[in-house]
Amino acid sequence: MGQIFRFTTIIVGFLPLLVILSTSGVHAEILIGPYLQHSDLDSMTISWKTAMPTTQNEVRWGGSPVLGNSSVEKNIFPASFHSVKIKGLQANQMYFYSVVSDETESPLYSFWTAFEQTETIRFVMYGDTRGGWDNWQHTLLVSQAIEKENPAVVFNTGDLVDEGKNATDWIDFFTASPYLHNSTFYPVLGNHENNSRLYFSYFSLPFNERWYSYENGPVHFIALDSNLRSRFRFAQYFWLLYELQNSRQPFTIILFHHPPFSSGSEHGNSSWVQRFWVPIFEQYQIDLVINGHDHDYERSIVHGITYIVTGGGGAPLYDVGHSPWTIYSEKTYHYCLFTVNSTILTFEAKKPDGAVFDSFILTK
């Protein structure tokens, strides 16, 4: 009986502390986000981080700026990281939302649910955003240009930050990426993420999060982990084969960090990818392979497959040459805009000022 009394005393004594943390009168600044994760035909996950633990956290949302609906975070204990999954949505629809933590509410933002296969989707791919070298100025410049495009989804080909284990780097990345409020975000691991637990805590990705697939509109996206600890794992290799054998979408795009074909001066070709993965790409005639790692732009065609190096997201640029497989290459900051329906894929490589410097069309 004495043990029960002591335990009750501890719990009761702890409750005032919870109240103090959440009602101290200090408003909880939203430090990161809100940002969009894991869009589906009928759901969306919204995440954010507050500068201090909060207890009352919710997403207010609706089909118009009036909102009118609320989805509440189920965590009853004070926390600084928050994630809410909104269910019961309609496919191909724009919704509006804001997040609330205690007495702090974010501005109004919007998102698109996933598109059905017969619909048209616009999305962006780019990479190597690590911007500590110039206080994230070029990263912000590219990000603001992406934000103006208002894509439904944005993919990052890795090296989001300078050092994945540095918490400040992640705050800087999110701050310099304002499109994250309105576009669902899907990254892959680069070498600078350094296999950090912070990467996996911030991002809610499908499957095992190191490699995963995602379908939206007429596109089957396959994300791979090309870093040393995963590149030769047969689990990933056979998973990739399974994904390709069972793909039913008109277009298939594969993205990972290390490019098999690159004329970049700093890294160049990834010969192990050429030997280990490229034969699979050629066997299944993949439409596009998208990479980063070299901080430049290059489009190549090898055995009928188009390869894109898009590493101009904000990191210091590298010189790029011209190889027998190169169609176009340039040392420039940029992002890649895709517009895809069930029969046509339109690609535009664009500089931060919106100028298109390379483009092509793939048809089915």
Distances (CA, A) of 282 to 254, 278, 288, 300, 358: 12, 6, 11, 14, 24
Pick the CATH number of 30-112 from 3.40.50.1000, 3.40.50.11540, 2.60.40.10, 3.20.20.70: 2.60.40.10
What are the residue boundaries of the structural domains of the chain, listed by start?
Answer: 30-112, 121-363
Strands 79-87 and 297-302: unpaired
Same CATH fold assignment for domains 30-112 and 121-363: no
Could you list the pLDDT tens digit for every one of the 364 residues in the chain?
Answer: 333 333 333 333 333 333 333 344 457 899 999 999 999 999 999 999 999 999 999 999 999 999 999 999 988 789 999 999 999 999 999 999 999 999 999 999 999 999 999 999 999 999 999 999 999 999 999 999 999 999 999 999 999 999 999 999 999 999 999 999 999 999 999 999 999 999 999 999 999 999 999 999 999 999 999 999 899 999 999 999 999 999 999 999 999 999 999 999 999 999 999 999 999 999 999 999 999 999 999 999 999 999 999 999 999 999 999 999 999 999 999 999 999 999 999 999 999 999 999 999 999 9
Distances (CA, A) of 363 to 20, 341, 359: 61, 10, 14
In the chain the first and final C-alpha atoms are separated, in Å, by: 75
Measured in whole angstroms, how far is the alpha carbon of residue 92 from the centre of its chain?
Answer: 20
Identify the CA nearest to 158 among candidates 122, 128, 120.
128
- Residues belonging to the chain: 364
Identify the CA nearest to 185 among candidates 99, 124, 115, 249.
124
The answer to whether the peptide bond before residue 78 is cis (omega within 30 degrees of 0) is no
What's the whole-model pTM score?
0.92
Identify the CA nearest to 348 among candidates 55, 157, 57, 145.
145
Name the fold adopted by 121-363: Purple Acid Phosphatase; chain A, domain 2 (3.60.21)
